[in-house]
Amino acid sequence: MESHVFEAVNLVQSGCPSFFKFIAANETGDTGGHQCGFYIPREFAEMALGEPCIKGANKDVRAKIAWNDDKVTESRFVYYGVGTRNESRITQFGRGFEYLRSEYTGALVVFARTAVDSYRAFVFNSEEEIDEFLGALGLGPADANKLIRLDGKSPESQEEQAFVQFIQSLNVDFPSSDIMSAAARKIEDAIYDHEEYIRTQPDVKLISWSEIEYRLFRAIENDRYGKFIANGFSSVDDFIEKANAVLNRRKSRAGKSLEHHLGAIFAGNGIEFEGQVVTEGNKKPDFIFPSSSAYHNMSFPIEKLVFLAAKTTCKDRWRQILNEADRFRDQTKYLCTLQQGMTVKQMNEMAAEKVVLVVPQPYVKSYPKNTGMQIVTLSRFINFVKGVQA
């Protein structure tokens, strides 16, 4: 694990109040404007300010932030509550601050509070670093912009009860990823009573399911491994073996979760599709619409076929999808992601390869505007496929 990633993970696990976010296009100026500094969640702002953020007044406090490269900024935590504004930001990093440049759009930044007026910040701009950080903590992109909680607890008592019931029903150490995802969907539908969102607000549903699954996964981890942590380990090898098992399971779950939830949404919308279709050379795109047989039937018109890949993050690995299905080599390829933001350069490269991003509607605003890249919401993609299959 890279040293900065290890340090960030260690601070979070040691109990430092922390949150992460993806650097948005409006923060780097890629939308044409340039908002002041980094947006931060209200809970984190209230902790920094030492008082509630209440509409009608602006509040601020100064603090030191130490960054990746050991640069220290004398920055300002500020809550804007006057007029129509109701948001919190970290501002004042000095002229020409590196991490607010265009090439950092879509990078992941972690803030951890190490003392009353001191913070540590880490910026990860490669997919490997992002995956290492998220995987080590069992987090996903849907967990951005909120305080990181590692105790597996939810403020919703109904959720906690449902988690306990599910854990008690298990007859295995850990359920498979498809069972875990299905349980998260069932719990979310039962507690929040918005099952119709699968058709009316699929973008919201996808994010909500992802968040619930993360909390359920952490609850199972705490139940399964809590006793080992409390009792200690018999040897260093025993510790490493357990730690590697946890990390590998976290990464595996994150990679499959998005695919499982998308499949449930497509099925709930009456769309014909098939997952993990074997194409040429044993390659397996995540989704082919309507089916494997249609894809392999060369008389089936290409304009009636739709290709969709699913990648939780895709800053670097989006190129992997380009050769997953030969019939789409010169055709439009759709890629669904929970990534929040990318650089203009990356988006233009994707556009040149005829890749269209499918992004949950709340995340669209984090991407640069006026690029050659087309972005569609999940709802719009579903309507598009329905039209193709009509």
Annotated catalytic sites, by residue? 295
Bridge partners, residue 310, by sequence = 336
Q: Cα(155)–Cα(301) distance, rounded to whole angstroms?
A: 51
Reference 131, options 307, 338, 309, 324; nearest CA is: 338
Alpha helices per DSSP H over the chain: 3-13, 25-28, 42-49, 127-137, 157-169, 177-192, 197-200, 202-231, 236-268, 292-296, 344-352, 378-389
Q: Cα(265)–Cα(201) distance, rounded to whole angstroms?
A: 10
Residue 333 Cα distances to 184, 218, 240, 302, angstroms: 29, 34, 41, 12
314 within 8 A of 141, measured Cβ to Cβ: no
Q: Is 152 left (phi over 0), alpha (psi -120 to 50) or beta?
A: left
7 within 8 A of 137, measured Cβ to Cβ: no
